[in-house]
Structure 1
Amino acid sequence: MSGHDRTPVTVVGLGSMGSALAGAFLEAGHPTTVWNRTPSKAEPLVSRGAVHAPAIGEAIAAGPLIVACLTTYEDTIEALEPAAAALSGRALVTLNSGSPSGARRMAAWALGHGMRYLDGAVKDVPSAVGADDTLLYYGGDPAVFDEFASTLRVLGGDTVHLGSAPDLAALYETAVGGTLLPALVGFFQGAAAVRARGLEAATMVRFTARWFEMINSVLPVLASEIDRGDYSDGASSVNLFLAGAEHDLELGEEAGLDVAWHQPFHDLLRRAADAGHGDHSISALTEVLRKPAPVGASKGPAGE
């Protein structure tokens, strides 16, 4: 299939991820127009065959599919607003960070300008864009997804439409993304601890990866407990995790670490135990998270 048979695509935003998206479209033979606030970022893509549009209106007018990869929904609106007259009838796909409410506002703005809309998320690093196992998911107009599915699949072989609600990708992105910072901070704390003993952080990687594999293996079990509301399997109980809280504090003292970031987790465990979940599965924390902490709730040793 020649480039003339491929859907023309405009990519708005050429940071590391936006450039990777544009590169994948070019690699697959799609006529690709690019725009960025800093024009020089387009040069590597132009050398590969992209067309650089100096004005956003020209970029929008170049094709039926606009893929925006700016930092936030607000940035996307700010970038596209000057081209408002050219937006009607075109399909907009946003691949940026933001909340579900932000996605809903973005959808309302796009629909108000006569556009068709999909919101999406790339669940990998820029270097993985275009790979067969790279995951992207989308929420929004199913007709838009069906029309451009083969084009969007160029960005990753594992391409999923979550449903017609425009905020679904943002919902899953924020829901899944909540695991990232705690996991990284845990690794950084471990790295600080082994470095305090004169060991290299690199020696942790093999064991940390295995730990993540174990967590991955139990996620389906935990998800089933949550969906059924049955937390009676106490093999990994709230009380077991609560007993380990003291070990976090001891490690902090011994290695000279700031372990204050554990305090909210310890407080959550205590709230769960106080609510009668002490002997229940750790997944019962979901029920506590569904309710705000009582005003003036007492804190244990970690909060003193």
Structure 2
Amino acid sequence: MTDQKHIPVTVLGTGSMGRALAGAFLAAGHRTTVWNRTPERAAPLVLAGADLQPDIGDAVAAAGLIIVATTTLDAARESLADAASALRGRTLVTLSSAIPSSAREFAQWATAHGARVLGGAIKNVPAAVGKRDTLLYFGGERAVFDEFADTLRVLGGDIVHLGPEPDLAGLYESAVGATLLPTLLGFLEGAALLSARGIPAGSMVPYSAKWLKMIASLLPVMAEEIDSGDYSLLGSSVGLFHSSIGDDERLARESGVEMSWHAPMHDLLRRAVAEGRGEQSVTALFELLAARVPDGGDDLVEFPRPARVTAERLG
């Protein structure tokens, strides 16, 4: 690794996450240039010592390391279109939310203009940027990751290199993030059930937190079942969840709470039972969700399937 202690950094995008990223670099002593489509939004960073460049080409030219924190990568590509020639020889680290295809397309575009690219993701909220346990993971050339690891650690103490493909962070972002909205909806539904009885939502927080820890303890077993194809380890069967469908529907009627979002889950359970999976662990629902190549195969991108993916964590 090279000495990255005080290298110049440019942050493109000064929304809530971009402001947090730029603030972390400033606090660590990096000369930090910022750009935003609406320059006025960068005013707090300028007061903190950042250099605001209204022209994105000048912002790119100001540093060798460019952090892309725009709302989307499509927005970044559109904004950078007139400054593409300035990308040559620079390293772009994307920390914008992106599905894998968007991450690949952006990396291909930037690479074609002479830049090196790390596709990244922050698994936390802006207020957690810079903290020791904040997780960031990256996909892309290992040598580029190693070169800038010390600088990237300013943004969070738990940094991980997932592998050489620049879309891996987007892939993991999609895979890990899939639990977020269902979990939040479950909490909101629970709050609605309590509210119907005049009970405050805060009363269930300690129990919900403990429940989530229990669920977390099951994930290694579920992953083992998926990787081995042996759906006999967990103990909670498809049939057990299937038998509770009627209670879910009755609870919705009696409480008046909106629970229609359960319907697709109930459909999966019914399909699994129809396939004879009632005695298998509920993890067997994976078989109904797993990708299948559609007729013609036009919409599914196929990749080599490694025996095991190992991410190296540099804490």
TM-score interval, smaller chain = over 0.9
- TM-score w.r.t. the length of structure 2 is 0.90
Task: Give the residue type in structure 1 aligned to 2:28.
Answer: A
Per the TM alignment, residue 233 of structure 1 is displaced from its structure 2 partner at its CA by 3.2
Does the 8 A contact of 2:118 with 2:145 survive in 1?
Answer: yes
Q: Any residues of structure 2 matched to 1:1-304 within 5 Å, and which?
A: 6-233=6-233, 235-290=235-290
Residues 178, 203 of structure 1: alpha-carbon distance in 2 compared, 3 angstrom cutoff: same
CA distance in 1, matches of 2:143, 2:37: 31
Q: Once structures 1 and 2 are overlaid, which stretch shifts more, 230-239 or 275-284?
A: 230-239
Residues 5, 210 of structure 1: alpha-carbon distance in 2 compared, 3 angstrom cutoff: closer
The RMSD of aligned alpha carbons is 1.6
Per the TM alignment, residue 5 of structure 1 is displaced from its structure 2 partner at its CA by 5.2
CA distance in 1, matches of 2:245, 2:30: 54
- TM-score w.r.t. the length of structure 1 is 0.93
* Structure with more relative contact order (C-alpha pairs < 8 Å, separation 6 or more): 2
Q: Once structures 1 and 2 are overlaid, which stretch shifts more, 214-223 or 37-46?
A: 37-46
Task: Give the residue type in structure 2 aligned to 1:56.
Answer: I
Partner SS for 1:230: coil
Partner SS for 1:277: coil
Greater percentage in helix:
1
Q: How big is each residue's C-alpha offset from its partner over 1:238-283, in whole Å with a ceiling of 9 and x where there is no partner?
A: 0111112222111111110221110000110111112221111111
CA distance in 2, matches of 1:172, 1:4: 27
Aligned to 1:299: none
Could you list the runs of 5+ residues in structure 2 that have no partner in the other structure?
293-315
Could you list the runs of 5+ residues in structure 1 that have no partner in the other structure?
293-304
Does the 8 A contact of 1:137 with 1:160 survive in 2?
Answer: yes
Does the 8 A contact of 2:239 with 2:278 survive in 1?
Answer: yes
Q: How big is each residue's C-alpha offset from its partner over 1:200-255, in whole Å with a ceiling of 9 and x where there is no partner?
A: 11111111111101001111111111111100236200011111222211111111
CA distance in 2, matches of 1:66, 1:291: 35
Does the 8 A contact of 1:234 with 1:279 survive in 2?
Answer: no
Does the 8 A contact of 2:118 with 2:138 survive in 1?
Answer: yes
Per the TM alignment, residue 71 of structure 1 is displaced from its structure 2 partner at its CA by 1.3
